[in-house]
Amino acid sequence: MPATPFDAIIIGSGQAGNPLATALAGAGRKVALIEENRLGGSCINYGCSPTKTLIATADRLHQLRTAAQVAAPETANAADLRVDLGAAVARKDRVIAAMRDGVRANLTKKQPNITLFEGHAAFMGPHALHVALATGRSQDLTAPLIFINTGTRAAIPDVAGLADVGYLSTTQLLDLKELPEHLIILGGGYIGLEFSQMFRRFGSRVTVVESGPQLLEREDDDVCRGLQDALGAEGVEFVLNARAHSVSRSPSGTITLSATTPTGERRLRGSHLLVATGRTPNSDKLGLGFAGVKTDEKGYILVNNNLLTNVKGVYALGDIHPGPQFTHLAYDDYRVVRDALLHGRKRSARERPLPYCVFTDPPMARIGLDEGQAQEQKLPYRVATMPVRTIGRAQHTSYTQGFWKVLVGKDDRLLGATLLGPEAGEIMAVIEVAMAGRLTYQQLQEMIFAHPTWAEGLNNVFRDLKKGGK
């Protein structure tokens, strides 16, 4: 059967692929969208949406358990509440199914110019693909424009015995129906920390094992300490500077993780093991060699500032190319390509802000530079730090953990901020807008914020800068 021609082919229906398919189809292009697994990509199916849905369940439980702290003594017996994990997962599944159904309806019912192929795609040449369909049949496709949006999967470390013990990936943990008695989490990054607090609040004992000297290796030391202290106060245990070298499971089902630490050998025993040690790109089965598409040593597809690979007409979007892996950046990849192809406006994918959040309690949010980065770049800066407990809204609500830290340059404009505290992501958005408008800290400080709100704290955070700061 001859290959079917299209104007554009998109491999992967993630946060860049889906809106790009819609935009190109709306502009009259004939688009093929290929998805091997579930429509919606990682964010909807096993990333942001299911994780945050379950975190919401854990947060509600925590609020009930701690209600007596704000003069609700009749809830004192709620301290022993435990989650019905099966019910929580069922709710998560309903939320995700509705989102996935919405994606399918948008792609198949509202866009006549989009043809959906469910199966695995591999290159046969620079602009030719072979699709092994889920039905057992196959289809060859061609197009002058091809967009790779296949994302990543869990990276599994080389630890003796790991493959034999029945470890869990984050995807599998999201579907677990029975509560772990003791969950060991290998990896102290953003994902591991969110799961650690979630399952601690569900009622599990939780131990986080991290190979480095601190959690969240890309953050400033004081931020890592603050978050570790907050999670530790809820009972999450941490073992740092621990390099796991073997894992085993006893006949009774107990998992033993052995790790080397500066103080000697540690053996940690638990009922379940989550591996959260990073991600690896889904590029190894795409047949990139037949297209001549280049990757780095880890398999990430190399792109230029406009997300174009070394092959004309072939782009890589989202987590499949090197760089930070966030849903909102993948969506912006779509906008970069859309504007270039449909609107004649070119914008570099490297010259853009990088906001992100960690959805712990208290949450952490970052935009722009932190102190470590400012020092690496040898930029002169001053830093303003304010404890969250000094904000009026914190005193009203008793959510007093954390601090705000904002950096300003020698021209008094904002360089970046790291916020650890309630509504951190929302306050970060205010700072991001101020940075985009190139406001000085004095202009932000003198704005009128409604009272009493968290944002009102921005009137106070810069006060120590007037005293010289740092």
Out of 127, 182, 321, 451, the active site residue is: 451
- Convert the chain into a string of H (helix), E (strand) and C (coil): CCCEECCEEEECCCCCHHHHHHHHHHCCCCEEEEECCCCCHHHHHCCHHHHHHHHHHHHHHHHHHCHHHHCCHHHHHHHHCCCCHHHHHHHHHHHHHHHHHHHHHHHHCCCCCEEEEEEEEEEEECCEEEEEECCCCEEEEECCEEEECCCEEECCCCCECHHHCCCECHHHHCCCCCCCCEEEEECCCHHHHHHHHHHHHHCCEEEEECCCCCCCCCCCHHHHHHHHHHHHHCCCEEECCCEEEEEEECCCCCEEEEEEECCEEEEEEECEEEECCCEEECCCCCCHHHHCCCECCCCCECCCCCCECCCCCEEECHHHCCCCCCHHHHHHHHHHHHHHHHCCCCCCCCCCCCCEEECCCCCEEEEECCHHHHHHCCCCEEEEEEEHHHCHHHHHHCCCCCEEEEEEECCCEEEEEEEECCCHHHHHHHHHHHHHCCCEHHHHHCCCCCCCCHHHHHHCCCHHHHHCCC
Q: At what angle do helices 48-65 and 85-108 cross, to 10 degrees?
A: 150
Tell me if residue 62 is catalytic: no
Whether residue 255 contacts residue 272, with contact meaning beta carbons closer than 8 Å, is answered with yes
Cite the active site residues: 451
